Structure 1
Amino acid sequence: MGFTQQEIGIIRSQSVQMERGGAVTPEVLQYIYDKKLFHLFVADDLEGNMTPLPEAIRIFQECSRIDGNFGWIVTIGAGGGYFVPFMTEAIGRKVYARSEAVIAGSGATTGTARRALGGYVVNGRWKYCSGSTHATTFTANAVLEQEGRAISSESPQLVTLIMNPDQVRIDHDWNSFGLKATASHSMVVTNAFVPDEMTFSFSEYRSHQDELLYKYPFLAFAQTSFAGVAMGLADHFLEASEALLRERGNERGLEQLYKKQEDFARQKDAFYSVLDKSWEELGRKGSLPPEMEQRISSECIAAAKASLDCGLSLFPMLGLSACMEDTEVNRTWRDLQTACQHALLRG
């Protein structure tokens, strides 16, 4: 899918408002719902918008080029669709089958679950739950406890939980200097009962096993998604930097920027070449060999490094005006630094 110049203008016109308010605006959220951007990885029979991975990563890149917060929210929200095959069809319909449905959560194991009749009693606190203020479902990992202790301290058993918003308290603690509107706050759960049917395991397929996307390795899926965001943010930073350098008449700076754009274009081409090949190979063989997974990971990290380098190398040339937080180039630079701190992009 593409974005018209009018759509880009409408979203960017709300960038400052979103950053100051700490959340995407209702208008931007409605646009995401209408375009089914949260459902790019949800099976069509669940009112989804199933999209081949290479196409979706290009969408994430473009969303992030338009606005960093918009791109991050779309990417994280869409990523929750990867959980579809681990849920029963009934639970999947409950979780996904409406236009505003979106998951927020955490992969960290910073909670506990104690066995109870028909389910688990859950407690915990999970950080960095992007999209927390508009999520309709929350997921989290917890360590299985018995009498207040993990069942096995050496290899603890984990359970992945599906929770409703009324079971979760949002602690508004996201105070990063970038991606301010992603609402990546902590979620807190206290003595919530989660029935067995609202749990799942990544080792047990329960539905939609034939969808190709769900056969793509999760780590590679996540890394390619975040790499798409980083590249889109770098694209926007380069655009904003070029405009500022032109305004200042900095010919030397423009020469360096054009060289950086050429180098960055080659890195993006290398990334998408591997991504496209991996998708084709998955379609032919039904799985990816370890060496291809390693190539994908390496290209994702290289793409993120190249994206970050765009900001680190060019920002010192932009002058004091680029240090003003209300400027486009400053906001995009901060968003780029923040996104590239994600552990999956640092190698």
Structure 2
Amino acid sequence: MTEVKQERIDVARIRAHSEEMDRTRAVPQNLLDYLIEEKLFKLFVPEQLGGRMLGLPEALSVFRHVSHSDGNAGWLTTIGSGGGMFVPNMTEDTAHELFSPASAVIAGSGFPAGTAVPAEGGYRVSGEWKYCSGAPYASMFTANSTIEGTDTIRSMTLMPDQVEVLGDWNAFGLRATGSHSIRVTDAFVPENRTFSIFEQQNAFSGPVHSFPFVAFSVASFTAVCLGIADHFYEEARSLAEEKWPGADRQAFVLGELEQHEREHGKQAASFESNVRDAWTRHLAGEAMTAEEEQHLIRTAKTAAGTARSGVQSAIRHFGMDAVMEQSPLNRIWRDLSTAAQHTFLLPEPAGS
């Protein structure tokens, strides 16, 4: 497997666009070109199709590092790479066709919000799906649909000219992720562009593709939250040192930040250790038990929740500076608050 080294991530280049992305709610083309050049949307795509095929721990490190650079870039890297999990489910010819281009990236939704009517050679698909991150630049869309007259759900692969992007992503954070709803009206999808996530149709899979999907997803979004929190503490320390040089207030705030960051680091380290252990067992061919999967998920959610709650407490120390939208601290806080709201990271009932 090819390792993406952290030093390849150009933090300064990404952050140079942070204010613009937050203001315009869009990813500038030159930053998108950079993400494509570094194959950050292809971390789980096989090398035969121009990808990097990373292991899960290595990919989570990339997600965290890019998110530390900027929350929007980290989220889009994570979502874009996640689309590579579907490569083994497609026919070999379709996988070659859709994933070989350098700019290949999926947007879409796993919620079965569409209806697929059987037609000669395929299906006629209609529906509307929410929260399709990366929709403005996706080279393809996947949308789960129920086959009319059955309980069967099948994933439909649609081309951009078949999809209407509704432009309704008006969230207060992660503004540039383009997580818009999409609408499809009576679009024909040939059979060879449909698939089931439970069926492998080619030999392109790597170890990550057989890792439990829910645990994979929770871990991926946790890595985003950890990276954004890393950035917050970095920015907060810098602001405290600039705002209160040599004052008692500075010492107090830095001490508070240290406490929050220490707990953040502790929970992040526990999460990453659990991922490494689970991955080692996975590579050895050991099936993950339900109890082991739930333990990994709980560890991940604890780390993400600690990142969110620590930042929420820490930002209180910065007064009015923290409420202005143009403030970097405010932007980072908004991005983390938004990322942590993903359904995979919601708190679970006690005892679950």
The two structures have a TM-score, normalised by structure 1, of 0.95
Q: Which residue number in structure 1 is paired with residue 147 of structure 2?
A: 144
Q: Is the 8 A contact 1:142 1:159 kept in 2?
A: yes
Partner of 2:240: 245
Instruction: Report matched runs for 1:283-322 at 5 Å.
Output: 283-285=283-285, 287-322=287-322
Q: Number of paired residues?
A: 339
Q: Once structures 1 and 2 are overlaid, which stretch shifts more, 284-293 or 77-86?
A: 284-293
What does residue 105 of structure 2 align with? 102
CA deviation vs aligned residue, 1:150-178 (integer Å, no higher than 9, x gap) = x3xxxx22111111111101000000000
Distance 1:253 1:130 in 2: 36
Contact 1:23 1:183 in 2 (8 A): yes
Question: Hey, what does 2:262 align to over in structure 1?
Answer: 262
Distance 2:205 2:191 in 1: 25
- Relative to 1, partners in 2 of residues 1:14 and 1:94: Cα closer, same or farther, differing over 3 Å? same
Specify the alignment match of 2:247 in structure 1: none
- Higher mean C-alpha displacement, 127-136 vs 203-212: 203-212
Q: Say whether the 8 Å CA contact 1:84–1:208 is kept in structure 2.
A: no
For residue 107 of structure 1, give the secondary structure of its aligned residue in structure 2: strand
Cα shift at 1:7? 2.2
Answer yes or no: is the 8 Å Cα contact 2:87–2:204 preserved in 1.
no
In structure 2, distance between residues paired with 1:193 and 1:27: 33
**1:185-196 mapped onto 2 (5 Å cutoff):** 185-196=180-191
Greater shift, 17-26 or 282-291, is seen at 282-291
- Judge conservation of contact 1:238–1:310 (CA < 8 Å) in 2: no
CA distance in 2, matches of 1:4, 1:15: 19
SS at match of 2:275: helix
The match for 1:272 is: 272
**Cα pair 2:46 2:204 within 8 Å, conserved:** no
State which drifts further: 123-132 or 280-289.
Answer: 280-289
Deviation at 1:262, TM superposition (A): 1.1
Kept in 1: contact 2:6–2:62 (CA 8 A): no
Aligned counterpart, 1:202 = 197
Q: Tell me by how many angstroms 1:259 deviates.
A: 1.0
SS of structure 1 residue aligned to 2:52: coil
Distance in 1 (alpha carbons) for counterparts of 2:169 and 2:9? 31
SS in 2 for 1:38: coil
Question: 1:343 is matched by which residue type in structure 2?
Answer: T
- Which amino acid letter does the alignment assign opposite residue 219 of structure 1? V
Shift in Å at residue 145 of structure 1?
A: 1.4
Gaps of 5+ in 1: none
How many percent of aligned residue pairs carry the same amino acid? 40
Which segment drifts farther, 322-331 or 13-22? Answer: 13-22
Secondary structure of 1:325's aligned partner: coil
Find the aligned partners of 2:206 and 2:54 in 1 and give their Cα distance.
Answer: 10
CA offset at residue 3 of structure 1? Answer: 4.7
Match of 2:39 in 1: 36
User: Is the partner of 2:41 in helix, strand or coil?
Assistant: helix
Report the CA distance between 1:209 and its aligned residue. Answer: 6.2
Query: Contact 2:9 / 2:66 at 8 angstroms: preserved in 1?
Result: no
SS in 2 for 1:123: strand
- Name 2:126's counterpart in structure 1: 123
Instruction: Please tell me the residue identity of whatever aligns with 1:203.
Output: F
SS in 2 for 1:109: strand
Q: Structure 1 CA distance, aligned partners of 2:8 and 2:330?
A: 22
Within the candidate set 174, 183, 201, 1:179 is matched to 174
Taking a change above 3 Å as real, the CA distance of residues 214 and 4 of structure 1, as seen in their structure-2 partners, is closer
From 74, 78, 85, the equivalent of 1:75 is 78
- Measured at CA, do residues 5 and 313 of structure 1 come closer, stay the same or move farther in structure 2, by a change above 3 Å? farther
Q: Distance in 2 between matches of 1:108 and 1:77?
A: 17
Question: For 1:314 and 1:6, how far apart are their aligned partners in 2?
Answer: 27
Distance in 1 of aligned mates of 2:173 and 2:65: 18
1:164 maps to which of 159, 168, 171: 159
* Letter of the structure 2 residue corresponding to residue 37 of structure 1: L
Contact 1:215 1:287 in 2 (8 A): no
1:215–1:286 contact (8 Å) kept in structure 2: no
Over residues 112-152 of structure 1, what are the superposed CA-to-partner deviations in whole Å (9 max), with x where a residue is unaligned?
Answer: 11111111111000010000001001001111213xxxx3x
Q: Secondary structure of 2:224's match?
A: helix
Residue 219 (structure 1) aligned with residue 222 (structure 2): no
Quick one: which amino acid aligns to residue 341 of structure 1? Q
Which amino acid is the alignment partner of residue 96 of structure 1? F
Q: Deviations over 1:233-254 (max 9, x none)?
A: 1111111111122122222111
Output the amino acid matched with 1:179.
L
What one-letter code is carried by the residue in structure 2 that aligns with 1:322? A
The aligned amino acid for 2:220 is: S
Is 1:20 aligned to residue 15 of structure 2? no
Q: Report the alpha carbon displacement of residue 89 of structure 1 after superposing the two structures with TM.
A: 1.1
Structure 1: how far apart are the matches of 2:5 and 2:34?
Answer: 14
Letter in 1 for 2:310: C
**8 Å CA contact retained: 1:133, 1:183:** yes
Q: Distance in 1 between matches of 2:87 and 2:205?
A: 12
The answer for unaligned runs of 5 or more in structure 2 is 245-249, 348-352
Give the secondary-structure state (helix, strand or coil) at the position aligned to 1:140: strand
- Report if the CA contact (8 A) 1:121-1:194 is conserved: yes
